Structure 1
Amino acid sequence: MTRQPGGKGSLSHRMFVALVVACASVAVAVTAAASLLYQSAFLSDEHEQLAAECRTLASLLDRTDDDATVLSALELGDIRATLIDPDGTVTFDSQADAGELESHADRPEVVAALESGSGSSERASDTVGYTSLYEAVRLDSGQVMRLSVDRAGVVAFLFQDLLLLVLLAVLLVVASWVVSRRLSRRFVQPILEIDPSSGDGVAPYVELDPLVTRLNEQHEELMHRMSAIQDAADLRREFTANVTHELKTPIASIQGAAELIRDGIAKKKDVPGFAGRIYDDARRLSSLVSDILTLSKLDESERAGSQELFEPSERADLLSVARDAVDRLASKAKKAGVTVSVGGVSSYVRGNARLLDELVTNLCDNAIRYNRVGGKVYVWVLPQEGRVALRVSDTGIGIPEESQDKVFERFYRVDKGRSRDMGGTGLGLAIVKHAANYHSAEIKLESELGKGTTITVLFPAEA
């Protein structure tokens, strides 16, 4: 029989074993019961026949004076005749020398015959599988006339038909194998025809409804996982292409400016400008690489379902984090002509300090970057519905409705030209999204084109 992966037997194998065990158990039980019944009936008949012959022979001996001579003259076949005195001494035995036999005073059939006139018993003989039957009658002389005969027992009876039993066992195994193969095909074929993708519960047997339901669930789960894997692969390819493009632009700019300075083509008065361009592009590269590394660690942390890649969580005042971020961005806000204010109450969350800082800094940086001259940015930290809310609002250009679901994607820019010219990496809001997930926080975005944007991040309150 074939074996299935994982060490599990095939259906036909299991049915074959079950049938053989069941049939063998029934056969053994029936054979044993029949044999016991046969032995009981057979021995009962033998006892009656032997008792009748014993009574007949006793009647004959009661009419003679020389019992030994009469017994010696009789043709008894396989029946053994023994004449026993009241004290147990054997005076005659048709199959042995009476002088060499021990006292029979303790034999049950002899004791019973002396007491009540007749007795019977049966004992397993020295010959394996045989039973000795005894019938005894007390004679008028006081002696006991005993007849005995050996008859086959159950074991001997079975051994006599051993070849027949072996043939029956072989037939049983063959029949079980044929039946199990046919039954397994009959049961399995409808199962093989089940189409899990249909989702219609097409089970051929009502007992298989749970199986079909589970198959449908697993099919849907598999399709979902395959879709997720494909989406992840597409995202990686797109990310790689975007990273390559984003890196090429500043590298090409740095290379071009450096070559002009190296080859002496750039005029002396233009060198500071080229150097400034190299410095700005180098800073942009540094920011891009830093953001990519942060996102990679966040991705790996999410895939592993572990936060061990980052420093241990600690208690942090989100209002203090917001104030620190705004202070660092003060010069940038002033240069852009944007006013930034921070308000709220001290609210504590548990998380990674660097990621919390990156989250707040990126939100504030975007609010400044996509604002207008004279615009305002409001940063609030407040308790909200049992959670801690970080709200960053601006009076900037806003986000078109069709783009609001995409702004947290990597390298997505509403206005690609303006974003790149303003030095953005295109990864700020992607980091915000993953940093929020890291802290089990929820993000809400509200925006109106030409009027501004509000992004709220709801953190679990510190336990």
Structure 2
Amino acid sequence: MKRKIYWNMCLVALFSMVVATLVTTWLFCRDLQEQMQLAVRTEVRYLESAVEVSGKEYLAHLASRGDGNNINRITWIGEDGTVLYDSYADSESLENHRDRPEVVSAFQTGAGESVRISDTLAEQTYYYARKLTDGTIIRVASTTSSGLATMVHTVPWMIVMAVVIFGVTMVLAELQTKRIVDPINRLDPKNPQAEQVYDELAPLVRRLEKQKETIREQMETLREKQEEFTAITENMREGFIVVDSKADVISYNSSAVRILGVDMEKNGNGNINVLSLNRSNSFRQVVDEALAGQRCEQNLDLNGRHYQIIANPVAESENRWGAVVVILDVTEQQNREGLRREFTANVSHELKTPLTSISGYAEIMKNGLVPAADMGRFSEKIYVEAQRLITLVGDIIKLSRLDEGNVELEKGPVDLYQIASEVVKRMGDMANKAGVAIDIKGSPAVVSGAAQLLDEMIFNICENAVKYNKPGGLVHVTVVKEKGHPTVTVEDTGIGIPEEDKERIFERFYRVDKSHSKQIGGTGLGLSIVKHGAIYHQAKVEMESRLGEGTRIRLVF
């Protein structure tokens, strides 16, 4: 802009100088012509008066002075157009002047004038004629340089003057340009203020200020959205990776790095190809298909866990695709699926066993193969298996309702010590048969709950403590308040639980020692009911066990 202003100022100055020179020269030439014409007309009036008085003697006197050829040309013309006198030439050698424009006009109006240019355009002659009283014409002619010739003669001086003026103009233009541009250069783009610049630039600066504020607001919005996006992706358990059409990583979250087990810092700030993060066929396939514009899902096993990889294409342009890769941890889902299959198999097995027994005994009785003396024993067997089946179905229904939170039990104040005491009494015969001693100690501890469910929870824990104990073993039941929390503790000296089974003993139908469990019976749902009953009462189940030494289970309300 500075150069443009500078050269524009120089060109304007040059153009102004040329126009001014031409106009001045034209005005000067016109002024000289007017003065010359005025002098010629004045001289004609003097000659007119002199000739009217003295006639040809005055003209002869002019010729005798010897200066007639150095001043203006004087011509005296008769009524018929013949030249009676000429100060520059012999009158007899001159042709008739009757047809000259100034002469024609003088004969008609009493005065006439004309201007004739030389063939070379270098000179012009002004003729002025007046008619005398005797009918003759007195004419004076003055020859001067033409306007074009005058301008041509002034060209060298004009060039010299133009060079000098243009040089001075360039210096002044440079200084003036700096002076004009300086306020603009000093304008702070980060903080433009309209009052600091020219009035002509104030609207632009105001628009810049408004645009800057708009950009600031947009940047703030983008920053907030980026922070929200980062907060969301960084707090996702799922891995999240965005790649461009070249499979280079654009964005990722920490979960993706953790799942894939890579160190992104080792890759520096350069482009990272997503396929370098995991080179398995499954990972490569989902990325390739997504970049080809197709959604793809694959499973991937890493570090003992199961993941589902979902890649969705994202259009960068008409024929170019990027991709968003999401890595989901489906370990728990697959484990639950496995548990579901195991539960289905266990339910089928647990239902099939009593049903098979009932069907077998009934078939024998139907065919009359049972003596009358044994009918009671066979009927008892059918009754026992039917009761076992009813108990199993009841426990399954109860667990289902506890899972759904749809248990219709009346809640009220319940003394845990009283319930535990009744359970211990009921367990007396079973404990004696197993050769196990069971006792209770503690103090009243009242909670708000369902008495029937609490009774079943404590009974299931005590029953397991007796069943999985050793002959001559002990079962201690304690009910106390610990730090304001009612607590029921059942501790035995039984076979204990292996470390690898501790996480699963509360699962449905899960048995630590399956051969021993078959001998002692049971549905395998007792501890599952304890777990869900504790959830129903917002209680906590704590378990400690050592293999061969015993187990301690606590219900903390």
Considering only CA atoms, is the larger Rg found in Structure 1 or Structure 2?
Answer: 2
TM-score where L is the length of structure 2: 0.42
